Structure 1
Amino acid sequence: MLFTFALLLIASLTCEGQQLPEIQQVSVNKANTFNIKDFGAKADGHTVNTKAIQDAIAACTKAGGGTVLVPKGFWITGPIKLNSNINLHISEGAVLQFSSNTDHYPLVKTNWEGLDAIRAHSPIYAVDAENISITGKGILDGAGQAWRPVKKNKVTPPEWSQLIKSGGVTNEQKDTWYPTERALKGSTMKRPGVIAEGFDFEKAESIKEFLRPNMVSIINCKRVLLEGVTFQNSPAWCLHPLLTQHLTIRNVTVRNPWNAQNGDGVDVESCRYVLIENSMFDVGDDGICIKSGRDEEGRKRGVPTEDVIVRNCTVFHGHGGFVVGSEMSGGARNIFVSDCNFLGTDIGIRFKTTRGRGGIVEKIYINNINMNNIGGAAILFDMYYMAKDPLAVFSGEDKPSIAFEPVSEATPQFKDVFIKDVVCNGAETGIFVRGLPEMNIKNIQMENIFIQSQKGFECIEGSDISLKNAILYCDDKTVVNVQDSKGVVLDNIQYKPSDVLLKVTGSRSANIRLLNTDAKQATKEVVLGTNVQANAVSKK
């Protein structure tokens, strides 16, 4: 065989003594190189080179595999399909510019946010392939401006004026611009493009520009490498590996406008054996995201994302730095995140789900994380994603307990998460944990945490939550709020002078332990709500 694969054996241990997974690596046949210029490609900024590039890929495949070379220059193309044993190499100085003509992207049956759907063809696509890679120091641009809607409040007045002049249409409220009438029409429909909602190709065609493609779609592949390249300006998610094994993403840069809707960096969905390292993300939605399908369809697929390593990455902008969910219905486990920087993201470490998702997220190990200028929570676990806050309407001292709902396969679970060595210089909230009454967030262990924030630590419906060796420098009058939680351990907590160190509310709160913590900085050490048992808190 001309193509073989090497094993990348990672033998080091994580914070909890867990051995990291082994990731198989791509091996390229260096004997074969096919330059797209030899197949008629022209870097003239006008010629659409789809056929020339695809012909080069076909010739490379016929020869047993190798490198398809995109040399220095500006190359326009439509969507590209990769075959097994192909290395698409984007040379330094090369820009592979995907066409802004949406007619070049046929509708296909695919997957969107965990559901079977009809969407426009991805600019780069591979399915059922093995040993494929995209490498080099060049740039791939997805022409996202031809697809994405833009909200008026997310651009400057001159930018909004320029959008209006460029064409397209606005909605009735005149607060969102769409590139076409079809895109606007799609925005008014229920679950547009979703097959289970009754969409077929004819119906989908009437809203085509709303059905924005993910830029790089890798489906059911084995041994995949993305290395060195800059991926930018995606119509929707930028990198989307689905049902893929042995994936390495190394030294890449992912860039999207900060206001790009669904402009995620990388969404790893129902994949196994994944390494993401030494990469940078500056995007419009979540930076590095773990998914595994949505609701009943995701549970029926039943393929978790597991055995994932994320290390030495930086997220400059995005809704979340490292994110799990919310489409995690197939579950996620054995995920290791270390030595990352989240600088200016809305949330730093983000776990999100909601009733109806189902799925179990467990055995997550996170350490050595630096954060700065976080708009929301530095560390967040929330089981009410995109749901109305059940306590938002109450403003009194003691908010009522949340009602139970029956536990079923649609009840999600977060448990067994280990976070240590985190520094955050500036956040709205330090740590936020909010589970369901029928399914608490369980066994979250946090250690060596330093956070400067407006609010401190809030724990609602949590079980066996521990915070050890933590510095919570918050501006709020109360450092730690615990509601309807049990088995919460606060060990060696340092804080600024405050009115209250620990406030406990909710009749279900029990076994709260305050250990090795100096109470002299607080006017009141512990405040109990009216429905809390007197022995709910113990001190040592």
Structure 2
Amino acid sequence: MLHQFLVLFFLCFNVVAHLFTSSALGEVITCSNIVPLKNRRYNISLTDFGGVGDGRTLNTKAFGEAIYQIQHMGREGGALLYIPPGVYLTESFNLTSRMTLYLAPGAVIKATQVTHNWPLVAPLPSYGRGRELPGGRYMSFIHGDGVNDVVITGENGTIDGQGDIWWNMWRKRTLQFTRPSLLELVNSTNIIISNVILINSPFWNLHPVYCSNVVVRFVTILAPHDSPNTDGIDPDSSSNVCIEDSYISTGDDLVAVKSGWDEYGIAYGRPSSDITIRRVNGTTPFSGIAVGSETSGGVENVLAEHINLCNMGVGIHIKTDSGRGGLIKNITVSDVYIENARKGIKISGDVGGHPDDKFDPKALPIVKDITIKNVRGVKVLQAGLIQGLRNAPFTDICLSGINFLGVKGTTRSPWKCSDVFGSSHQVSPWPCSELTSNQPGSCANHSQV
């Protein structure tokens, strides 16, 4: 399966690779210095604790004992847990602080498909319940709560969630609780995830929530396009997050910035802020770069740049709903190539369900200061749909240097807009009248570079 995805990647993106090379960009900017990579004082191997990589032996005890030892090694330097080549079947397990989980070439950490005794955890307070069903939720396959200084890396080893059993339960409506993410970090700081492959997540792949200082680099995330809700990376009520140099192909949004759900997210009140997404390539039937739809704690200061998207539902999608509340502001998306998409850009105020009937329909989101510039698209059926809310129109929407081409032999759908105010500069096809004003701070100040 991995080979098929990589072939698709090169077919989709080789025609535009020159747009995003180091020579085209000048010096390649990274944010790896957000979390300095530390050398560990001790190195241990899973096989030291009875780990067997035959794909059949259950290694839950081995992981538990190895991580317990790291937890009790003291605070000086921490330890690296080495996973040798092989397939290590295990139940879900918890990480600890000051550890590096290192996957050798050919190493696979594979989730068991025995689900009846999968551990449960409490719902996130900013969601009030499981995302799919009321009550708690199944713990992620690899989980960290309140940890600091954790690195998950290696030489492109694989973490396999074996999610098809969970997807089938979702389709048959036999789930009792919300499905587990593949990798979730809660209330954690100083996290690096790099040079690993994540496949077949039961639910969202990588979910840092209530975290700060998180770097995700050189990661490949794969799930079938018909796998339900397998978002790639979802920074959630988190700050100072960098996602870069990665490839994602999943059954839902590639990257979605979130911050809680309706009245629960409003009450928790923790925004997502200072999020950087750069040099991410991918394909999905849903959205490429997304904000939302759960944005009740607010989302601000997001930069997404140098993005390649192929075979998409929507290329760039900012989404919220009445009852969400929250402030979405200062979102910049630039230097994007989109090929074969239903919509190039969508900014919408009517997306997403509600956790229960306790939400306040008068809690309207505020969406402002959205800049989308230097975007090129081919085979894009509709350039854009921007639909604000009647009592909370979206303001200061800036479109600059955008060129969408349709499918040869067909008529492109025009832009559609309502309850939005903004401006545009060098946009083709020409956008709707709501975006052609020449107001102060117009897109002429953000012209193509």
Same fold (TM over 0.5): yes
**TM-score, normalised via structure 1 length:** 0.69
Q: CA deviation at 1:466?
A: 1.1
1:416 aligns with 2:434: no
Residue of structure 2 aligned with 1:333, choices 294, 300, 311:
300
Which residue of structure 2 lines up, in the alignment, with residue 256 of structure 1? Answer: 223
- Equivalent residues in 2 for 1:58-73 (5 A)? 58-64=68-74, 65-73=78-86
- In the alignment, structure 1 residue 342 sits paired with structure 2 residue 352: no
How far apart are residue 21 of structure 1 and its match? 8.7
Between the aligned partners of 1:60 and 1:66, the Cα distance in structure 2 is: 6
Superimposed CA distance per residue, residues 132-169 of structure 1 (whole angstroms, 9 cap, x where no aligned partner): 011011000011112113xxxxxxxxxxxxxxxxxx8x
1:123 to 115, 133, 141: 141
- Please tell me whether Structure 1 or Structure 2 has the larger radius of gyration of its CA atoms: 1
Shift in Å, 1:177:
4.6
Aligned counterparts of 1:40 and 1:113: Cα–Cα separation in 2: 39
* Corresponding residue number in structure 2 for 1:489: 436
Structure 1: distance between partners of 2:30 and 2:370: 16
In structure 1, the partner of 2:351 is 385
Which residue of structure 1 lines up, in the alignment, with residue 396 of structure 2?
443
Give the distance between the partners of 1:27 and 1:106, measured in 2 at CA: 31
1:55 aligns with 2:55: no
Q: Which amino acid aligns with 1:143?
A: Q
Cα distance in structure 1, aligned partners of 2:190 and 2:277:
17
- Residues 92-148 of structure 1, C-alpha deviations (whole Å, 9 max, x = no match): 111111101113411221339933330112110000110001101100001111211
Paired position in structure 2 for 1:97? 110
- Confirm whether residue 132 of structure 1 aligns to residue 150 of structure 2: yes
> Aligned pairs, how many?
395
Amino acid at match of 1:299: I
Q: Which amino acid aligns with 1:357?
A: R
1:148 aligned to 2:167? yes
In the other structure, the counterpart of 1:468 is 425
User: Which residue is equivalent to 2:98?
Assistant: 85
Cα distance in 2 for partners of 1:114, 1:90 equals 33
Amino acid at match of 2:370: V
Match for 2:97: what amino acid? Answer: S
Note closer, same or farther for the CA distance 1:20–1:353 as it changes in structure 2 (3 Å cut).
farther
The one-letter code of the counterpart of 2:183 is V
The secondary structure found in structure 2 opposite 1:266 is coil
What's the CA shift for 1:239? 0.6
Q: Distance in 2 between matches of 1:61 and 1:344?
A: 44
The equivalent of 1:399 in structure 2 is none
Counterparts in 2 of 1:303 and 1:79: CA distance versus 1, 3 Å:
same
Residues 498-537 of structure 1 mapped to structure 2, 5 A cutoff:
none
**TM-score, length-scaled by structure 2:** 0.83
TM-fit CA distance, 1:91: 1.1
Matched residues in 1 for 2:30 and 2:420: separation?
A: 28
Q: 1:265/1:134 Cα in 2 relative to 1: closer, same or farther (>3 Å)?
A: same
SS in 2 for 1:59: helix
Equivalent position SS for 2:221: strand
1:61 CA displacement: 2.6
- For residue 436 of structure 1, give the secondary structure of its aligned residue in structure 2: coil
Shift of 1:480: 4.5
Partner in structure 1 of residue 54 of structure 2: 44
Provide the C-alpha distance between the structure 1 equivalents of 2:36 and 2:248, rounded to a whole number of angstroms. Answer: 23
Cα gap change, 1:38 to 1:324, in 2 (>3 Å): same
Instruction: Decide whether aligned partners of structure 1 residues 20 and 361 sit closer, same or farther in structure 2, where only a CA change above 3 A counts.
Output: farther
In structure 2, distance between residues paired with 1:219 and 1:407: 29
Q: Whole-Å Cα distance in 2 between the matches of residues 177 and 295 of structure 1?
A: 26
Is 2:103–2:196's contact at 8 Å kept on the other side of the alignment? yes
Q: Name the SS of the counterpart of 1:296 in structure 2.
A: helix
Tell me if 1:302 matches 2:269: yes
Structure 2 residues not aligned, in runs of 5+ = 1-28, 131-135, 354-359, 407-411, 445-449
1:530 matched residue in structure 2? none
Q: Alpha-carbon deviation of 1:67?
A: 0.6
Is the partner of 2:413 in helix, strand or coil? strand
Q: CA deviation at 1:318?
A: 4.1
Q: Residue type matched to 1:458 in 2? A: K
Tell me the CA shift for residue 490 of structure 1: 6.2
What is the deviation of 1:319? 0.8
Q: Which amino acid aligns with 2:306?
A: D
In 1: Cα distance, 2:125 partner to 2:263 partner? 14
Q: Name the CA distance, whole Å, in 1 between partners of 2:151 and 2:233.
A: 16
- What residue number does 1:10 align with? none
Taking only aligned residues, the RMSD between alpha carbons, in angstroms, comes to 2.5
Q: Distance in 1 between matches of 2:66 and 2:31?
A: 35
Aligned to 2:254: 287
SS at match of 1:323: strand
Q: Please tell me whether residue 272 in structure 1 is matched to residue 239 in structure 2.
A: yes
Question: In structure 1, how many angstroms separate the alpha carbons of the residues matched to 2:368 and 2:114?
Answer: 46
2:263 partner SS: helix
Shift of 1:29: 3.3
CA–CA distance in 1 between the matches of 2:332 and 2:190? 24
Distance 2:118 2:352 in 1: 31
Q: Closer, same or farther in 2 for the Cα pair 1:449/1:490, shift >3 Å?
A: farther
**Structure 1 pair 374–59 and aligned structure 2 pair: CA distance change class (3 A):** same
> Does the aligned pair in 2 maintain the 1:20–1:309 contact within 8 Å?
no
| Matching residue's letter, 2:419 | E
Q: Which residue of 2 aligns with 1:15?
A: none
Counterparts of 2:127 and 2:372, CA distance in 1: 27
Letter in 2 for 1:466: S
Secondary structure of residue in 2 paired with 1:53: helix
Q: Is the 8 A contact 2:40 2:80 kept in 1?
A: yes
Q: How far apart are residue 459 of structure 1 and its match?
A: 1.6
Equivalent position amino acid for 1:489 in 2: T
Question: Are the counterparts in 1 of residues 45 and 82 from structure 2 also a CA contact under 8 Å?
Answer: yes
